[in-house]
Amino acid sequence: MKKKQKKRPAKKRPVCLITGASAGIGSALAREFANAGWDLALTARREEPMVELAKELKEEYGSTSHIIVADLSKPGACADILERLAKKTTHIDGLVNNAGYGLTGNYTENEWPAHKDFLTVMLEAPCEMTRLVADGMVERRFGRIINVASLAGHVPGSRGHTLYAATKSFLIKFSQSLNLEMQEHNVKVSALCPGFTYSEFHDVNETRGAVDKLPNWMWMTAEEVAESGFIALARNRAVHIPGASNRMIALLARLIPESWALKLMSRNSEKFRKDKR
C-alpha cells in the first residue's frame, strides 16, 4: 500500500501594507505588488477609492485586499491600523510608506499644529510603522519595504513647503541605514524618489495651476514611477530615482556648488508655489 503523503500547508500569499493607497503612487504600487502575486492591505482616509481599487485587484490579479480606513496624523494610528489588520491576516511581508502631502506657504504662514500633523504623517508614521512590522519580517526572514521619498530630498531646500524636502531627505538616509541593517535578514529596503508625478498631489495642495506650466519632460505617470520603484526594490537599491531626467537633476545638484544650487532653487521655487487666487 502506498504511504499516505503528509499534507503540506498551503503556501501563504505574501501581504503588503500600503499607506496612502487611495490615490496616485500608492494605488499604482498596489497594482505592481498584486501583479507579482501579493495580497494587499490598503490604508488611507477615503474608503471609496480603496474599495474600487480592491475590486480591480481581485478581478485583474486575483489578489485579496484588506481595507483599513485611518488618518495617520492621529495619535496611535499606526498601532491601531496593525491591530485591526491582525484580525484579517497573520503576517505582513511588505510595507510601502507612501502617504503624504505638501504643506504650502512659508514656515511662519502655518501654525505649529499644521506642521506637527505634517511631521506625524511624513516622518513619525513611516518610522513607527516600519518598527512595528520589522520584527515579523526578521523572524520570517523575508520582507520588502519602500519609503516613498522624493527628488526634493536630493536638491537644496526651496522657499515655501519648508519641511517637505527636509522630511524626504530624512527618509532617504533612514532607508539607506535600514537597507544595510536588514540585508542579513533578507529584508530589502528602498527609498523611492520620484520627481513631478501626475497624481492628486498638486490638486490637494492647490499648486496644479503653477506646476502645469512645467515642461512635459519633467513629469512621469504614477504607473511609471511605481513600475520603476518595484524593480529597484527587487534589486535592493537603497535609493532609487525613477526617470533619466530626474536622475540628471539630482546629479547636477550634487556637482554644482551649493551656493549656485540654492540660487537656482530660490529662482525656480516660485513655480511650485500655491496657485494665485
**Catalytic positions:** 164
Name the segment binding ligand NAP (CB under 6 A); options: 56-64, 191-199, 257-265, 266-274.
191-199
Question: What's the closest the beta carbon of residue 64 comes to ligand NAP, in angstroms?
Answer: 20
Name the segment binding ligand NAP (CB under 6 A); options: 6-14, 44-52, 230-238, 245-253.
44-52
Could you give the strand order of the β-sheet that contains 187-192, starting from the edge strand earlier in sequence? 65-69, 39-44, 15-19, 94-97, 143-148, 187-192, 239-240
Interface pick for ligand NAP out of 174, 201, 230, 272 (rule CB under 6 A): 201
C-alpha triplet 160, 222, 59: angle, nearest 5°: 145
Is position 72 an interface residue for ligand NAP (rule: CB under 6 A)? yes
Number of residues this chain uses to bind ligand NAP (CB under 6 A)? 28
Interface pick for ligand NAP out of 121, 145, 172, 241 (rule CB under 6 A): 121
Question: What's the closest the beta carbon of residue 222 comes to ligand NAP, in angstroms?
Answer: 6
- Measured CA to CA, the distance from residue 58 to residue 37 in angstroms comes to 11
**Contacts with ligand NAP, 231-250, as mask; x by CB under 6 A:** --------------------
What's CA 218's distance to the chain center, in Å? 20
C-alpha triplet 229, 170, 184: angle, nearest 5°: 60
Interface pick for ligand NAP out of 99, 134, 226, 239 (rule CB under 6 A): 99
Question: What's the closest the beta carbon of residue 10 comes to ligand NAP, in angstroms?
Answer: 32
Give the SS3 label for residue 19. strand
Q: How far apart are the first and last CA of the chain?
A: 84
Dihedral Cα 258, 260, 264, 269, nearest 10 deg: 40
**Pick from 276, 123, 107, 106: nearest CA to 208:** 276
Dihedral Cα 121, 203, 201, 155, nearest 10 deg: -100
**Pick from 19, 130, 73: nearest CA to 30:** 19
Interface pick for ligand NAP out of 104, 169, 197, 246 (rule CB under 6 A): 197
**Contacts with ligand NAP, 4-33, as mask; x by CB under 6 A:** ----------------xxxxxxx-------
Nearer to ligand NAP, 107 or 260 (CB): 107
- In DSSP terms, which residues pair with 196 in a beta bridge? 219
Is position 194 an interface residue for ligand NAP (rule: CB under 6 A)? yes
Is position 73 an interface residue for ligand NAP (rule: CB under 6 A)? yes
Question: What's the closest the beta carbon of residue 3 comes to ligand NAP, in angstroms?
Answer: 53
- Measured CA to CA, the distance from residue 140 to residue 69 in angstroms comes to 27
Nearer to ligand NAP, 40 or 44 (CB): 44
Q: Which residues bind ligand NAP (CB under 6 A)?
A: 20-26, 44-46, 71-73, 98-101, 121, 148, 150, 194, 196-197, 199-201, 204, 222
